[in-house]
Amino acid sequence: MDVKELIEKLDLKVLCGESLDRKVTGCYCGDLLSWVMSRAQEGDVWLTVMGNINSVGVAVLADVACIVLTENAALDADALNRAKQNDVIILQTEKNSYQIAAAISKLI
Amino acid sequence: MEEVKLHYDVNAYDFTCAGEASGKLKRSLKDLGFDASLIRRVAIAVYEAEINMVIHAEGGVIDATITPECITVVLADKGPGIPDVELAMQEGYSTAPENVRSLGFGAGMGLPNIKKYTDEMTIDTEIGIGTTITLKICNK
Ligand SMILES: Nc1ncnc2c1ncn2[C@@H]1O[C@H](COP(=O)(O)OP(=O)(O)OP(=O)(O)O)[C@@H](O)[C@H]1O
Ligand SMILES: [Mg+2]
């Protein structure tokens, strides 16, 4: 599955991201950055409520497929700029992390 | 490949730049053709040490020496130093202030992550003088 398909199936809103053909291979949930940094795998969808510039830094370094801001968590302007510079895909949903993770587990 | 040396300055309390040096180093390693799992280990370890310099010290300097076999990174700050290194190395130990915790830091997992992802890690620290962390990550 790629990010584009994920967006369609889960009805996610795209906050940032142009090429959406990145492969999705797993999912990780967490808001504490150094946990996410060391546990999230390359290609994971990262579910979080942290929409600041540091999340974007972690997404780049951990090489996740995309960030999904759950429960409509907001994205800072700084974070959006950094995400654009680094081609990080950021999505948003009103659903919570549990609902999204459960849905992803049926898709991959 | 000859030995490559890279240098980065890390600004104090600048969260908008934090992670920039490790990001740049990651890109350079990619360009040099290093394998993805080694790059990931370097990126995680250097990111954690870089963030620590921003949060706990007043920024500092990063020097990386790259050879085909190993990446050695020295991160030096002139911050407050670490009073009890053994305690600081424990998972979950953190002195991060509230404003920093609300950004997602302060799990007390940074130093343990560095240990986990490096082949060698040394901490030289002196109270009131600063902290120098040296990391070495080698091709397996
Ligand atoms: N460069 C440094 N200068 C001074 N103190 C430091 C430095 N690096 C780490 N410390 C001390 O060691 C503690 C543990 O660091 P560690 O990186 O493991 O956790 P943290 O930074 O508090 O949280 P996290 O990394 O999970 O966001 C810090 O809370 C701080 O007290
Ligand atoms: Mg830390």
The domain spans of chain B are 4-138
| DSSP character string of A42-101 | TTEEEEES--SHHHHHHHHHHT-SEEEE-TT----HHHHHHHHHTT--EEE-SS-HHHHH
Q: Tell me whether A47 touches chain B (CB under 8 Å).
A: no
Inter-chain touch A78–B16, beta carbons under 8 Å: yes
Which are the contacts of B105, defined by CB distance < 8 A and separation ≥ 6? A32, A33, A34, A54, B51, B55, B96
**Tens-digit pLDDT profile for residues A20-63:** 999 999 999 999 999 999 899 999 999 999 999 999 999 999 99
CATH of domain B4-138: 3.30.565.10
**pLDDT of A107:** 95
CA of A14, closest CA in chain B: separation in Å?
Answer: 22
pTM for this prediction: 0.91
Going by C-alpha positions, the residue among B36, B31, B29 that lies closest to residue B67 is B29
* Nearest atom, ligand 1, residue B105 CA: 27
**pLDDT of B1:** 74
**Tens-digit pLDDT profile for residues A52-93:** 999 999 999 999 999 999 999 999 999 999 999 999 999 999
Inter-chain touch A34–B18, beta carbons under 8 Å: no
The Å distance, Cα B12 to ligand 1 centre, comes to: 15
Residue B19 has pLDDT above 90, yes or no: no
What chain A holds in terms of domains, given with CATH numbers, is 3-107 (3.40.1390.20)
**pLDDT of B20:** 87
User: To which residue do tokens 């150094």 refer?
Assistant: A34
Q: What is the mean pLDDT of residues B113-125?
A: 97
